[in-house]
Structure 1
Amino acid sequence: MRDMVEFVTSSLSNTGVIVSFQSLPTGMIPPNQYITFLEYFSDADLEAADEEITTERLIQANVWSKGNYSTLVNAVRKTLEQAGFERISEYDAPYTDGDSHFNKVLRFRFIDEY
C-alpha cells in the first residue's frame, strides 16, 4: 500500500507551487498560489478469501490562489490523472469576506494494491 502523502506530494511537485498535506506549516505566510490535499475516504475495493486485495482511496486536492487559478487547476488535474487517479468531481468553494485566497476543490479516486 502506498504512502499517499508522499505519493501525492511527489506527483504534484512539478506544478511549481508549494504542496502541503492538509494545511500550510504553522506560521507560514500563504504564497499567491499553493495546493493542500487530504485523504477523505478509504475502504476495501476488492477482497478475496477475506483478504483485501485493493483499496479505494479518495483524495481531495484544494488549489488556493489570490487570482485566476485555471492554469494551476488544469495542471493538478492532468498530473494526478497521469499518476493513476480518476477525477470524480470539482467545484469552486464559496469565497467569503476576509478570505485571502480563492479555493478550487478537486476530488479523485485511486485504487491502491497491497
Structure 2
Amino acid sequence: MKDLMNHIPIILEPLGLPIIFNGFPKDSEKPNQFITFLEISAKPIFVAGGNEIETERIIQINVWSNINYHQLAESIKHLMGNAEFERILEYDEPYIAGESHYNRVLQFVFCDE
C-alpha cells in the first residue's frame, strides 16, 4: 500500500504551498493558503485466500485560505485526477466568526494494491 504521508505531498508539490498531514500546529503562524489532508477510510474491496489484495481508500483534502481559493481547489482536482484519484465529494465548511481562514473540503477515492 502507498504511504500517503509521502504520496499526497508529492502529488500536490507543484502548488508550492504547505501541505500538512492531519492538521496544523497550534502555535504556528498560518500562511494565507495551505493544505491539510488525512485518510478518512480504508476498506478491503478484494480479498483472496484471506489476504487483502485491493483496498479502497478515501482521502480528504482541506484547502485553507483567507483569499479566494477557487483556482487552488481546481488545481488540486486536476493534480489528483492525473494521479488517478477520483473526486467523490466537495463542499465548503461553514465559516465560523473569528476564524482566519475559509475551508474547502475535497474528498477523493482510489484503489490501492
TM tier, smaller:
over 0.9
TM-score by length of 1: 0.95
RMSD over aligned Cα atoms: 0.9
Corresponding residue of 1:68: 68
Shift of 1:10: 0.9
Q: What is the correspondence of 1:1-114 to structure 2 with a 5 Å cutoff?
A: 1-113=1-113
Unmatched tracts of structure 2, length 5 or more: none
Query: Using the alignment, how far apart are the partners of 2:24 and 2:95 within structure 1?
Result: 19
Query: Using the alignment, how far apart are the partners of 1:34 and 1:95 within structure 2?
Result: 16
Identity level (%): 43
Unmatched tracts of structure 1, length 5 or more: none
What letter is aligned with 1:51? N
Shift of 1:93: 0.4
Shift of 1:26: 4.4
Query: Using the alignment, how far apart are the partners of 1:25 and 1:6 within structure 2?
Result: 18
What letter is aligned with 2:41? F
Query: Using the alignment, how far apart are the partners of 2:22 and 2:98 within structure 1?
Result: 20
TM-score by length of 2: 0.96
What stretches of structure 1 move > 4 A for 4+ residues in a row?
none
CA displacement, residues 5-60 of structure 1 (integer Å, 9 cap, x when unaligned)? 10001111111111000112342200000000000111101111221111111100
